[in-house]
Structure 1
Amino acid sequence: MAAVTRLLRPYLLVKAITPLDGGLTNCCFKVIDSQDNKYVWRPVNRACELFDIKRAAEFNALDIAAKAGLTAPPLLLLEQGLLTHWVEGLPAQNVSLDDMLGTLGKLHQLPLPDRHFDHQQRAAHYHHKLLELIKSQSDDNLPKDDGMAKIQQLTVLHDRFLQAKSKTNISSAFCHFDFGDYNLIQSPSSGLKLIDFEYAAAGNPLMDLLFFCRANSLDIYATLERYCELNNPNDADVWRTEIIDLTPIVDYLIMLWFELGYRLYGLSLYKESAEASWIKLEEHWS
Structure 2
Amino acid sequence: MARMAWVEACQLDRSLLSLDHFFTIPPEYAQTLTGGLTNRCWKIVEHNGAAFVWRPTTQITKAFSISRFQEFQILSAIEKSRLGPKPIHVSEHGLLVEWIEGTSLTDGLPFDQLLASLVQVHELDKQRIPIAPFNYTARVDHYWMLLQSHYKTEAASEIYQQWRKPPILADVGSALCHFDLAGYNMVDTGEQHRIIDWEYAAIADPRLDLMLSISVAEEVPEQAVFRYCKMRGIDGIDDWVEGVLAWKPRASMMAMLWYLLAHQLWGDDYYLEQAQQMQCDFCH
Unaligned runs of 5+ in 1: 136-146
Match of 1:257 in 2: 258
CA distance in 2: counterparts of 1:184 and 1:44, whole angstroms: 22
Match of 1:120 in 2: 137
Match of 2:81 in 1: 68
Shift of 1:222: 1.5
Q: 1:200 to 1:162 in 2, by over 3 A?
A: closer
Of 100, 106, 111, which aligns to 1:87?
A: 100
Asked whether the 8 Å contact 2:71–2:201 carries over to 1, the reply is yes
1:148-227 matches, within 5 Å, as 150-162=152-164, 165-188=167-190, 190-227=191-228
Shift of 1:162: 3.7
Asked whether the 8 Å contact 2:104–2:187 carries over to 1, the reply is yes
Unaligned runs of 5+ in 2: 1-8
Q: 1:115 to 1:215 in 2, by over 3 A?
A: farther
Shift of 1:167: 4.3
Match of 1:240 in 2: 241
Partner SS, residue 248 of structure 1: helix
Shift of 1:243: 2.6
Asked whether the 8 Å contact 2:155–2:279 carries over to 1, the reply is no
Shift of 1:221: 1.8
Asked whether the 8 Å contact 1:251–1:280 carries over to 2, the reply is no
Runs of 4+ in 1 over 6 A off after TM superposition: none
Q: 1:171 to 1:30 in 2, by over 3 A?
A: same
Residue identity opposite 2:159 in structure 1: L
Q: 1:244 to 1:4 in 2, by over 3 A?
A: closer
Deviations 1:252-275 (A, max 9, x none): 111111111122112232222212
RMSD (Å), alpha carbons: 1.9
CA distance in 2: counterparts of 1:275 and 1:219, whole angstroms: 23
Deviations 1:153-172 (A, max 9, x none): 33332221246744451210
Q: 1:280 to 1:29 in 2, by over 3 A?
A: same
Asked whether the 8 Å contact 1:29–1:41 carries over to 2, the reply is yes
Match of 2:115 in 1: 101
Of 42, 50, 62, which aligns to 1:49?
A: 62
Q: 1:261 to 1:103 in 2, by over 3 A?
A: same
Shift of 1:234: 5.0
Residue identity opposite 2:227 in structure 1: R
1:28-43 matches, within 5 Å, as 28-43=41-56
Q: 1:164 to 1:64 in 2, by over 3 A?
A: closer
CA distance in 2: counterparts of 1:182 and 1:164, whole angstroms: 28
CA distance in 2: counterparts of 1:243 and 1:66, whole angstroms: 29
1:127-146 matches, within 5 Å, as 127-130=144-147, 134-135=148-149
Shift of 1:174: 0.7
Q: 1:199 to 1:162 in 2, by over 3 A?
A: closer
Question: TM-score of the superposition, structure 1-length normalised?
Answer: 0.87
Asked whether the 8 Å contact 1:30–1:40 carries over to 2, the reply is yes
Match of 1:282 in 2: 283
Question: TM-score of the superposition, structure 2-length normalised?
Answer: 0.87
Partner SS, residue 84 of structure 1: strand
- Deviation larger for 98-107 or 209-218: 209-218
Matched, 1:10 2:21: yes
